[in-house]
A and B are shown apart, each in its own frame.
Chain A
Amino acid sequence: MINEIKITKRKKRNQAIAFWIFRLLSYSIVAILFIILSFIVYKGASVINWGFITKMPEEGMTKGGIYPAIIGTLCLVAGSMVFAFPVGVLAAIYMNEYVKDGIIKKIIKQMTNNLAGIPSIVFGLFGMSLFVNKLHFGDSILAGSLTLGLLALPVVIRTTEEALKAVDNTFRQASLGLGASKWQTTSKVVLPIAFPNIITGLILSIGRVSGETAPILFTVAAYFLPKLPTSIFDQAMALPYHLYVISTSGTNIEESRPIAYGTALVLIIIVLIANLLANGLRKYFGKKVKMN
């Protein structure tokens, strides 16, 4: 009996110690996140003002703003989404609503997974050799957008697929039962229900694309270009590349540090907004769908 009490005590103590360690380690991860965020916010906040985001870079990028980089990134995000979103959503619809389970579906799935696992620098290599060299797009927004679009494709496909899967089968059966065709069912019943989750995926992939650097290194990014792109065949500056360049190989690294902090903060803000928006939407629509 005494022995048993001792054992119980030891069990309790071990559990307390273990849980305590796990809690500590978990909180330390949260702490790392906050250190990174607060550091960049702290250093970058004083740099960001209206001029910073609307002015051209000046004096070897040690002064002035990052306007062209912001515009460049916007162009790239828009360009890549114009490509990846429709293609990805269609692919997911086809896969989830039309293809029957079997070897083909398995292969497509596996390929999508593989595509998602390919490092972004390999996308960069590929984009350079196909779009820039083979198709003669040159270093251009077009080449960069397509490269980024390919990179975002698996993300769009996966989130869309999950959104479609989450739609209860009874909806489909009900619609088909009323004599609607497969496509009518998909477009009028399934898609509207899945729509919020699909949009969430879109927003998340925007967040991802806007921060990617490696794929644009050799397909679009310009080191310094104090004018805005006028066509999709122009080169452009982009925020992540800009941050990379001015923090590692700018003309005057020390003096351009504040600009670097500002750029990093702008990037973080974009990602933060994308995440918050996606989470918010998820919650908002999650409730709405339930209410229906």
Chain B
Amino acid sequence: MYKIESKNVDFYYGPSQALKNINIAIRSNTVTALIGPSGCGKSTYLRLFNRMNDLIDDIKISGQVMIDGEDIYGKGINVDSLRKNVGMVFQKPNPFPKTIFENVAYGLRVNGIKDKKFIEERVETSIKQVVLWDEVKDKLKKSAFELSGGQQQRLCIARALAIQPSVILMDEPTSALDPISTAKVEELIYELKAKYTIVIVTHNMQQAGRVSDRTAFFYLGELVEYDETKKLFTNPKQERTQNYITGRFG
């Protein structure tokens, strides 16, 4: 059984169609990269999985998006619980104006967990998971803004891990980072694969090649090609994919 499955998904912002009949199936414990030029719909598609697009007025969606076999746009779905299960990491590091500790504890607190000891343990394991513990263990009470960009982004990943999601969505997580921080995050993605299902949007094709198992290429709201990463990059079936990965447009 697939972890995530989208069937015949159409998506509209007002009158304009942003996604056209997208069918993708994603297995557990894999990394899937979504690539394509700006405005191709890859971010919009990613944001369907935790219903982040709901915040925008005047949108319409048809088709099915299933996580663990359940239609997340179906009736009786609790969006808050869905989002608890589907973590997200954003383009720019976006820690809250709180302490480092409180940033990671945030997801636990808003989900009603009050047990202090439990929270402390969970914060520690999450920060350790992103290999940030040694750098921040002495300044947990300091503002998260005091960290460097790369540290902030790893903190944001720890924040997402703390509520133990099964899926993690990453929306160009390294686009605001320097090469060294980028390498750290990529390494982290590779390690996290053991526990989570990861979907990552990226502009950077080398990155897609390095971290992902499968890659989906989007163009003008259409899914052009979806295949194993190696195959897609070395031997694409579609000409448009070929043109894109060889840098002829985009």
Contact = CB atoms under 8 A, between A and B. Distances in A.
Direct contact of A and B (CB under 8 A): yes
A182 interface: no
Interface stretch (A7-15, A162-170, A213-221, A247-255): A7-15
A4 interface: yes
A10 B80 CA distance: 12
B148 interface: no
A7 B112 CA distance: 6
A127 to B, nearest CB: 45
B42 to A, nearest CB: 29
Nearest to B113: A7
Interface string A1-45: 001100110110000000000000000000000000000000000
A8 B78 CA distance: 8
Interface string B95-121: 000000000000000111000000000
Interface string B195-215: 000000000000000000000
A8 B112 CA distance: 8
Interface string A207-251: 000000000000000000000000000000000000000000000
B81 interface: yes
Interface residues of B, number: 6
Interface string B75-89: 000101100000000
A3 B110 CA distance: 14
Contacts of B78: 8
A210 to B, nearest CB: 38
B177 to A, nearest CB: 30
A86 B112 CA distance: 60
Contacts of A10: 112
A8 to B, nearest CB: 5
A3 to B, nearest CB: 8
Contacts of B81: 4, 8
Contacts of B110: 11
Nearest to A4: B81
A7 B114 CA distance: 11
A105 to B, nearest CB: 28
A16 to B, nearest CB: 13
Contacts of A3: 112
Contacts of A8: 78, 80-81
Nearest to A11: B80
Nearest to B81: A8
A12 to B, nearest CB: 8
Contacts of B111: 4, 7
B107 to A, nearest CB: 13
Interface of B: 78, 80-81, 110-112
Which are the 6 A-B pairs with shortest beta-carbon distances? A7-B112, A8-B78, A8-B81, A8-B80, A11-B80, A7-B111
13 contacts: A3-B112, A4-B81, A4-B111, A4-B112, A7-B111, A7-B112, A8-B78, A8-B80, A8-B81, A10-B112, A11-B80, A11-B110, A11-B112
